[in-house]
Amino acid sequence: MSSDGVVIVGAGHAAGTLAAGLRQGGYTQPIRLIGAEPLPPYQRPPLSKAWLKGEADPAGLLLRPASFYAEHDIDLRLSTRVTGIDRAASRVRLDSGETLAYEHLVLATGSRLRRLEVPGIDSEGIFELRTEADAQALRARLGPGVRLAVVGGGYIGLEVAATARGLGAEVVVIEREQRLLARVASQPLSAFFADFHRAKGVTLMLAASVAGFATTAGKVTGVTLASGQTIDCDLALVGIGALANDALAIEAGLVCRDGVVVDEQALTSDPAIFAIGDCTQRPMPRYGRTVRLESVPNALEQARQVVARLCGKPMPAAEAPWFWSEQYELRLQIAGLSLDVATTVVRGDPASSRFAVFHLDAGNRLQALEAVNSPAEFAAARQWVTAGQIIEPARAADTALPVKQIVQSVSGAA
Amino acid sequence: MAKVTYIEFSGKPHTVDVLIGTSVMRGAVDNGVPGIDGDCGGECACATCHVYVDPAWLALTGSRTEMEQSMLSFAAGTEDNSRLSCQIAMSAALDGLVVKLPEGQH
């Protein structure tokens, strides 16, 4: 018996993983994947790292080979946008005018970059980095001696700064807050990355607001700060955060609040509609609140929830959120969310570029851990955060103790 | 191309062609073999591509990297022949490789 199957809006990391996961899970109904970009689902994380450096094979960016979708009876429609959802009729409308019926709809619309609304922002030479096309355009311009101004000291900005330095560019990072990674990392980690980037020759300008861009004949020549100072540059990259793509959901009357509100099975306020990935506001029972996360593991976890639901399989166990970044020879891995933190403990010496920052709540439960070149601490923390493990601060700080022995004396404590 | 046989936890085998120069993880993902996730895309950051290398192939697949060792030391069901398959580079010498998959990757 055939149904209208699943229509997936978006063809990014979450969507591609979901489509493949449904077929692996034995789902036999139609699957339609609608993507605005011209490429089949691909990985975005390398765009600011190995791929931007030119080290990665372009085909390696794709989540699956382009032939995978037809081979698995997945109808992949690229360069196509969904322009509306008719919930009463269970249909979506495409920009071609065509409509598609669905039994289940999945919104995997991702996020879009926050726009910097200042004079000159549309000048030639100002880039953003979200898509493969963005990365291509930026990569074509980076090289030895090129002066790059990075607006925004978040992960994208810092990863591009590191990559650009590796390619011989001169780099200035301009950050509005008092420290790098202000919204997404702890103070010790921010300080470490600031020192590291400076040592690599990056100029950091903190607590600096951008007033506009200086231009000549429509081309960017500098970044003008609120202080009046101008930073000369040949190129600028703007990375100042992202917003949920929830316009379709809002227009369709789904409950949205900084993202499409979903439950622990990725279901929206309409039982026929799921939402997964960056566009969702999701419950995080471990922290007693809902959050909107921009990360690949988050998107994949929610894709697995939809697979379980539609294939009649057990719901996957909840996992601690996690994140990773690469800059120069540094690998940063973060487990958990730094919420309700009462105590912060640094294990190891940041000067060695190998250390971990433990974030404990008032009851010494591990809320989050930031690990620089410390995979054992990270791997342990993913389990400890999920379990709400209590950690004795002095033991966390004691590098003479192997990672596995940090919790031994306190297991079972209330 | 070289052949790799992935054996699901249930015992179901999948023999597929894997491009030489890619990884044993990539071979599973590209061919839709269930049981290997590769969430981080092969960065040795997530430990969701855990496999057990058939003992006959252990000498040819090499040894764990330090990073891989750390990630595996906290993975569920790690055995002496456990590897992260993103860290096993596919080569002509591995034509015929057999790996078994754990019960889950998460």
Q: What is the dihedral of CA A258, A262, A263, A265, to 10 degrees?
A: -140
CA distances (Å), B69 to each of A320, B28, B87, in order? Answer: 21, 21, 11
Q: Is A300–B37 a contact, with Cβ atoms under 8 angstroms apart?
A: yes
One-letter amino acid of A347:
R
DSSP string of B5-65, one letter each residue: EEE-TTS-EEEEEE-TTSBHHHHHHHTT-TT---TTSSSSSS--SEEEE-GGGHHHH----
- Give alpha helix (H) positions in A105-211: 132-141, 155-166, 187-199
Low-confidence ranges of chain B (pLDDT < 50): none
Q: Are the C-beta atoms of residues A51 and B15 closer than 8 Å to each other?
A: no
For residue A45, which residues of chain B lie inside 8 Å, CB to CB?
40-41, 43
Instruction: Find, among A226, A169, A177, the residue nearest to A203 by Cα.
Output: A169
Q: Is B106–A316 a contact, with Cβ atoms under 8 angstroms apart?
A: yes
Q: Is A380–B74 a contact, with Cβ atoms under 8 angstroms apart?
A: yes
Q: Are the C-beta atoms of residues A306 and A16 closer than 8 Å to each other?
A: no
Helix, strand, coil percent values for chain A (each to nearest 5): 30, 30, 45
What's chain B's length in residues?
106
Q: How many CB atoms lie within 10 A of CB B10?
A: 9
Give the three-state DSSP class for A233. Answer: coil
For residue B27, which residues of chain A lie inside 8 Å, CB to CB?
none
Query: What residues of chain B have any CB closer than 8 angstroms to a CB in chain A?
Result: 22, 26, 29-30, 32, 34, 37, 39-41, 43-47, 67, 70-71, 73-75, 106
For residue B29, which residues of chain A lie inside 8 Å, CB to CB?
63-64
A135 backbone dihedrals φ, ψ, rounded to 5°: -65, -40
pLDDT of residue A59: 76
Tokens of A249: 């959901």
For residue B87, which residues of chain A lie inside 8 Å, CB to CB?
none
pLDDT of residue A50: 85
| Euclidean distance between the first and the last CA atom of chain A, given in angstroms as a whole number | 53
The answer, for A354 touching chain B at a CB cutoff of 8 Å, is: no
Instruction: Find, among A315, A319, A298, A287, the residue nearest to A244 by Cα.
Output: A298
The answer, for A376 touching chain B at a CB cutoff of 8 Å, is: yes
Report helix angle A187-199 to A155-166, nearest 10. Answer: 20
Q: Are the C-beta atoms of residues A8 and A1 closer than 8 Å to each other?
A: no
Instruction: Find, among A361, A367, A410, the residue nearest to A387 by Cα.
Output: A367
Q: Rounded to a whole number, what is the distance in Å from the CA of B31 to chain A's nearest CA?
A: 8
Q: Is B74–A383 a contact, with Cβ atoms under 8 angstroms apart?
A: yes
Residue of chain B minimizing CA distance to A378: B71
| Euclidean distance between the first and the last CA atom of chain B, given in angstroms as a whole number | 30
CA distance linking residue A325 with residue A314, whole number of Å = 31
For residue A24, which residues of chain B lie inside 8 Å, CB to CB?
32, 34
Q: Is 0.90 surpassed by the pTM of this model?
A: yes
Give the mean pLDDT per block of 10 residues along chain A (414 residues).
91 97 96 97 93 80 94 98 98 97 98 96 97 95 97 97 97 98 95 98 98 97 97 98 97 98 98 98 97 96 97 93 95 96 98 98 98 96 96 97 83 42
CA distance linking residue A45 with residue A176, whole number of Å = 24
